[in-house]
Structure 1
Amino acid sequence: MSARETILTALHARLSILPATALRGDVLPERVPTDGLLILRDGEPGEPEVTLSPLRYHYQHRAEIETVVQGANRDAAFDTLCACIGAAVAADRTLGGLCDWVEAEAPQPVDLPVEGAAGLKAAVIPVILSYSTADPLS
């Protein structure tokens, strides 16, 4: 498995311990679980900085966590879920030594009306994964 895939798998595993349902790369299901929903998107590794001796590619990979809650208390549920994500990231900022640093950015929440049901509160939470590899494909 490549370093990129190993890191994304580790991040997904960290999100999976949260009370919300954590998916990876899936489409938004028709129903949002009562504890909320997280969908990890692989995102973009971006252009690496390169050092030559030894040859290393240094990435600031931008993954995204789509966060969705629904229900009457969606503001409080959203806030709690974001705090849980922050705590999960802060608990191990290197994902077990796989990254140099992991940093979540602030969400920009939006309220989405749903016809005939309680509205959704959703946001994309960017997560910056700083890591280095010996090859851009490894």
Structure 2
Amino acid sequence: MPTPRETILTALADLLSTIPHVPVLRGDVLPERIPSAGLMILRDGTPGEPGVTLSPPTYHFQHRSELEVIVQSASNRDSVFDALCAQVGAVIAADRTLRGLCDWVEPEAAEPVDLPVEGAASLKAGIIPIILHYATTDALG
């Protein structure tokens, strides 16, 4: 049986995969080719130190996962990147509790970086921190 952490991360990946034409990888390495609509890689991140309430013991996590957003284009790289980040925000805003699996999902602003690629259209990438607020009776998350 998966842990609550794994269940929530899987649900987040499933939610992000509803963005059309943009593959969502989970913890993979950056592939050699980036689809024209972009690519997202969800990193598990860290659950951090939980807060604890007693009777019954409940562990409250603010798990910080990271979503890498990557686009490659010779002409409209900035607008494609911006549109993809906006779509991430919109799908998360539509389901802030991942169908009741967690208390709240909060994406933070992306920190974009331009990456020149020799002999190809340059990449624009950024990491969107996504904070997952959830509670569980399992101290391991």
TM class by shorter-chain length?
A: over 0.9
User: In the alignment, which of 20, 42, 45 is matched to residue 44 of structure 2?
Assistant: 42
Q: Deviations over 1:50-80 (max 9, x none)?
A: 1111100000000000000000211000010
Alignment of 1:62-101 (within 5 A): 62-71=64-73, 72-101=75-104
Distance 1:124 1:137 in 2: 25
How far 1:137 sits from its partner (Å)?
Answer: 2.9
How far 1:87 sits from its partner (Å)?
Answer: 0.3
Alignment of 1:1-138 (within 5 A): 1-19=2-20, 20-71=22-73, 72-137=75-140
How far 1:46 sits from its partner (Å)?
Answer: 0.1
C-alpha RMSD of matched pairs (Å): 0.8
Distance 1:79 1:117 in 2: 21
Distance 2:117 2:125 in 1: 12
Distance 2:88 2:13 in 1: 11
Which residue identity lines up with residue 55 of structure 1 in the other structure? P
SS of 1:69's equivalent in the other structure is strand
Distance 1:115 1:60 in 2: 39
Q: Deviations over 1:9-30 (max 9, x none)?
A: 0000001111211110100000
Distance 2:32 2:63 in 1: 30
SS of 1:7's equivalent in the other structure is helix
**Which structure has the highest strand share of the two?**
1
How far 1:123 sits from its partner (Å)?
Answer: 0.3
Which residue identity lines up with residue 58 of structure 1 in the other structure? H
- Unaligned runs of 5+ residues in structure 1 are none
Q: Deviations over 1:78-126 (max 9, x none)?
A: 0100000000100010000011000000011010000001100000000
Total equivalences in the alignment: 138
Which residue identity lines up with residue 16 of structure 1 in the other structure? S
